[in-house]
């Protein structure tokens, strides 16, 4: 099983931790799932997989094109199948799409086969991040802030079902990475031995 050493930077002693299963990052678009996921994978010596990139590779078109051509329901069906396949892979770090955790079946599969981490961010931070790029199909409206706020109101109670909750910050990504590693270490220490 992959293991990692939690560095003294977190305020404690070096601790070797064994990651028993895939770590799935969930949260709103712009919460840092891909950015934090890549850094976690590097720190843990594990592969990083971006579910959105896998969906695009499997379909041969962008997510934006899937939404435009087939609609959100078709996209969510494709996302569900891809995530199930990815969760069958050896231990890795997986960045899920913002809406993936909303699917009850996907959520149950993640609970069974992975450790879920909710990267939580406030509306202002999310808007600052997603506003830099115009490729978010759900935000192609006259008032993206209102849409994002409504999505947060609907999704945050579901995201709160994740195993770990980590607040992201408007600062160096390493701060969030360290928070995830510290919370993960604590979570694994409290988990019953299998």
Domain count, the chain: 1
Q: Dihedrals φ, ψ of 66, to 5°? A: -60, -45
Positive or negative: CA dihedral 18, 161, 143, 71: positive
Per the CB < 8 A criterion, the answer to whether 96 and 53 are in contact is: no
The predicted-structure confidence for 156-172, as pLDDT tens digits, reads as follows 999 999 999 999 988 89
Which of 101, 64, 61, 65 has its CA nearest to residue 80? 101
Q: Both tokens of residue 36? A: 């934090």
pTM passes above 0.75: yes
Q: What is the CATH number of the domain that holds 47?
A: 3.40.50.300
Domain that residue 113 falls in: 3-190
pLDDT one-digit tens code per residue, 37-88: 999 999 998 999 999 999 999 989 888 888 889 888 888 888 999 999 999 9
Q: Which residue's entry shows tokens 């934090």?
A: 36
Residues pairing with 4 in the sheet: 17
Q: Is 11's pLDDT higher than 60?
A: no
Half-sphere exposure of 62 (CA within 13 A, CB side): 6
HSE-CB at 45 with a 13 A cutoff on CA atoms is 9
């Amino acid at each position: 099983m992959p293991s990692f050493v939690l560095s003294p930077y977190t305020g404690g002693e070096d601790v070797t931790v064994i990651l028993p299963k895939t770590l799935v990052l969930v949260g709103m678009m712009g919460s840092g799932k891909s950015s934090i996921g890549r850094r976690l994978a590097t720190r843990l010596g594990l592969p990083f997989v971006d579910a959105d990139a896998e969906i695009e590779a499997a379909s041969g078109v962008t997510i934006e094109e899937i939404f435009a051509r087939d609609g959100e329901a078709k996209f969510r069906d494709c996302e569900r199948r891809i995530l199930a396949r990815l969760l069958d892979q050896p231990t890795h770090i997986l960045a899920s799409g913002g809406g993936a955790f909303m699917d009850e079946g996907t959520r149950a599969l993640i609970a069974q086969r992975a450790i879920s981490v909710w990267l939580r961010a406030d509306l202002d931070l999310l808007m600052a991040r997603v506003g830099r790029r115009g490729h978010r199909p759900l935000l192609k409206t006259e008032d993206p802030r209102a849409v994002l706020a409504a999505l947060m109101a609907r999704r945050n109670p579901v995201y709160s079902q994740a195993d770990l909750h980590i607040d992201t910050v408007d600062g160096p990504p390493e701060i969030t990475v360290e928070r995830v590693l510290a919370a993960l270490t604590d979570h694994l220490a409290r988990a019953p031995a299998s």
